[in-house]
Structure 1
Amino acid sequence: MEIPIKSNILRTLFRDCYFINGTACAGKSTMVRLLAEKHGGICCGENYHDVLMDAVDPENQPALSYFQTMGSWQEFISRTPREYAQWIDGCSQEAAGLEIARLIQLAGEGKKVFVDTNISPAWLKGISDYHHVAFLLAPQSLSVESFFDREDPEKQFILSQIQQAENPEKAMENYRECLAEVNSPAVYRAFESSGFFTLLRDGTRTIEEMLAVLEKHFGLGLA
């Protein structure tokens, strides 16, 4: 049985939550971490909802359960861009429920909560407002070409699987096409037309300047 929670209740619960969504390599994780450190808040980094993954099952969350049902990691990296994008979208939709459940747990701690989220613009309109949401965007080329540049264990593991493929160059080309699909111009337009605040990582701002822009947007002042 689905148990609905009205939007006005969630907006009240999440009045101290600040959501950052957007494309890959746009600085979401960095901004969430720095904001939490500077303002004494809780940092909900990428996949922060994983603490609730034990509740996930293939019937109710087929996308999030993919790693339980897939044939191999080579299957994972060999999917078509369309299949990959559909899976990412499915994960985002299913993870939104886990994120909201986790944020309800954290909302009672009396601190500001900074969230690296995959919750969609449509859902965010229901649970938050303009000054608590920001979308960070990076050029598609950066999102694709720089994806494996960071020492993120999950990304480095995927890279290792690509390198172990029968044809590593072909596998890398396919995976980059997958990344391009989930960071496509259509995805950018959806963020830009959402009615929420957007900030482009285009190399014209330092990390400190991006942080200051977000603080101003979120109304965090100099605290």
Structure 2
Amino acid sequence: MRFSNVFFINGTAYAGKSTMVKLLAERHNGIACEENYHDSMLAGLDSREFPCLTYTRDLQDWRDFIRRTPDEYEAWVKGVSKECEILELQILDKLAETDKLVFVDTNISLETLREISDYDHVLIMLADPEISVKRFFERPDREKQFLYMLMMEEPDPEQALENFRQCLERINSPAAYEKFLHSGFRVILRDDNRSIEETFALVEREFRL
């Protein structure tokens, strides 16, 4: 095992990954590598080496972002994940030297996780794929509200929303869900009847903490 002090949470959107990573770090005096923690390296990236990660950094007109086809959007998201993995491994190499536990909301692929981590240090958290599509614009963060505003300013707002919905459906597909579900790692499914503390207790149990 390459990272003996690192615990990884992967899975789908709206499953509670970010919340659990924060709580784990707080309760176990650890380090939280929250969603997109690799953004700290974004400014210094070479666009030739990291074309997908630097796409939004160098984007001149964000209307181009929302006008992409589902095929283009899916290819970009997959490219981002691969490039993120490179940066994550660089960051984690340094954090592995600390004596603290490290909790990661990760983009690292299932295949790589099998190579670098122990089975008990990886957890998959899943939400119904439809939730990721239906609730995308319900989150209050500025990025999502900005994208929604841009779509409302398009000549045909309904068509713009439908196109983006299809983009989201593509990356939150049942096939992607099933791949996580049957990955061989432990899985926690989203349950709206379960409290955050109850979910946290499950996460601690799965990580044997």
Which range, TM-score by smaller chain? over 0.9
Query: What is the CA–CA distance in structure 2 between the aligned matches of 1:154 and 1:109, rounded to whole Å?
Result: 33
Query: What is the CA–CA distance in structure 1 between the aligned matches of 2:19 and 2:141, rounded to whole Å?
Result: 12
Look up the match of 2:19: 30
Aligned match of 2:56 in 46, 55, 67? 67
Note the C-alpha offset of 1:219: 0.8
The size of the alignment, in residue pairs, is 209
User: What aligned pairs does 1:134-213 form with structure 2 within 5 A after superposition?
Assistant: 134-213=123-202
Query: What is the CA–CA distance in structure 2 between the aligned matches of 1:164 and 1:135, rounded to whole Å?
Result: 38
**Superposition RMSD in Å:** 1.5
Query: Which range is displaced more, 92-101 or 70-79?
Result: 70-79
Query: Which range is displaced more, 142-151 or 103-112?
Result: 103-112
Aligned match of 2:34 in 29, 36, 45? 45
Letter in 2 for 1:91: V
Note the C-alpha offset of 1:68: 4.6
1:77 aligns with 2:66: yes
1:114 aligns with 2:103: yes
Kindly report structure 1 stretches of 4+ aligned residues shifted beyond 4 Å.
Answer: 68-71
Note the C-alpha offset of 1:157: 2.5
Query: Which ranges in structure 1 are unaligned for 5 or more consecutive residues?
Result: 1-7
Query: What is the CA–CA distance in structure 1 between the aligned matches of 2:5 and 2:148, rounded to whole Å?
Result: 37
Query: What is the CA–CA distance in structure 2 between the aligned matches of 1:149 and 1:111, rounded to whole Å?
Result: 35
Query: Which range is displaced more, 132-141 or 67-76?
Result: 67-76
Q: What is the percent sequence identity of the aligned residues? A: 50
Aligned match of 2:91 in 98, 102, 120? 102
CA contact (8 A) 1:24 1:147 kept: no
What's the secondary structure of 1:65's corresponding residue? helix
Letter in 1 for 2:144: K
Q: Judging changes above 3 Å, is the alpha-carbon distance between structure 1 residues 164 and 216 closer, same or farther for their aligned structure 2 residues?
A: same
- 1:59-87 per-residue CA deviation (whole Å, 9 max, x = no partner) reads 11111121255452111011111211111
Note the C-alpha offset of 1:160: 2.5
CA contact (8 A) 1:162 1:168 kept: yes
Query: What is the CA–CA distance in structure 1 between the aligned matches of 2:119 and 2:194, rounded to whole Å?
Result: 22
TM-score, normalization by structure 2: 0.93
Note the C-alpha offset of 1:196: 0.9
Query: What is the CA–CA distance in structure 1 between the aligned matches of 2:146 and 2:33, rounded to whole Å?
Result: 22
Query: What is the CA–CA distance in structure 1 between the aligned matches of 2:180 and 2:117, rounded to whole Å?
Result: 16
Query: What is the CA–CA distance in structure 2 between the aligned matches of 1:180 and 1:154, rounded to whole Å?
Result: 19
Aligned match of 1:89 in 73, 78, 92? 78
Note the C-alpha offset of 1:55: 3.3
Query: What is the CA–CA distance in structure 2 between the aligned matches of 1:36 and 1:80, rounded to whole Å?
Result: 38
What's the secondary structure of 2:53's corresponding residue? coil
CA contact (8 A) 2:124 2:180 kept: yes
Letter in 1 for 2:164: Y
CA contact (8 A) 2:42 2:54 kept: no
